[in-house]
Amino acid sequence: MIIDTHVHLDSDRYNEDIKEVYQRSLEAGVEQFIIPGADPADFERAGQLSLEFENTYIASGVHPYHVDDYDLPKVEKFASLSTCVAIGECGLDYYRLPETKEEIEKEKTLQKKVFISQIKLAKKLQKPLIVHIREASLDSLTILKETNAKDVGGVLHCYNADEILLELVDHNFYFGIGGVLTFKNAKKLPEMVKKIPLDRLLIETDGPYLTPHPHRGKRNEPAYCTFVAQKIAEILEMEVDEIKRITTENAKRLFKI
């Protein structure tokens, strides 16, 4: 079995064929799913899916692109659902920043404030974090260490292959590996996968985004976790069934599912 630890099934890109998406996933051996929080506008849809479909879980959180819509009481209320297993995805993303220095600093400050707030919520509720980091590794690492996020741990979603983040192995963090690993231009990530302890690897799709080879250009979906598992097995020179077993055990341990 594979657990897709990060898939946006609440995206409107799945609205027309959500039942078929689930069926294809089950046929491929992907049997459990975690829908991360990103945009508060999608919370209700995610919650409905977690109640409608078996073995579907959610995380409650706000993506750094939506920090202007951050509402702590709303995030905490959504986290009270019985199907909520984590807080996130939350974190820092400096890929799209304003143009002026003043605006950049203002945006970074807000992202940090919202990130820290969600870490505190995770610690309050004793739920692991789902962390998004893009072009902000050092600031993210500093915050996770200074806030003692290791008390709850979590996963670095779509691990960006920055070696400095491997330090978080010692802070109770796991590493989410997705379709990027299969890209022909992925040079660094395969090398980093070799450095991650086996008991800290997780598989994800980030569907509908980051579709793995050989389906690049199409909508991603949980069934494609199999391509990620196969690539990890190839890199580590292991049997793919063993990779599936280990990553499933890791996900169950972290998210208590």
pLDDT tens-digit readout, 12-62:
999 999 999 999 999 999 999 999 999 999 999 999 999 999 999 999 999
H or E segment to which residue 56 belongs:
strand 56-60
pLDDT of residue 200: 98
Measured from the Cβ of residue 9, the count of other Cβ atoms closer than 10 Å reads 28
Q: Is the pTM of this model over 0.95?
A: yes
Provide the number of structural domains found in the chain: 1
For the domain that residue 89 is a member of, what is the CATH number? 3.20.20.140
Q: Domain range for residue 90? A: 2-19+27-255
β-bridge partners, 84: 58
> For the chain, which residues score pLDDT lower than 50?
none
Cis check: omega of the bond before 89, within 30 degrees of 0: yes
85 Cβ partners below 8 Å, 6+ apart? 34, 57, 58, 59, 127, 128, 255, 256, 257
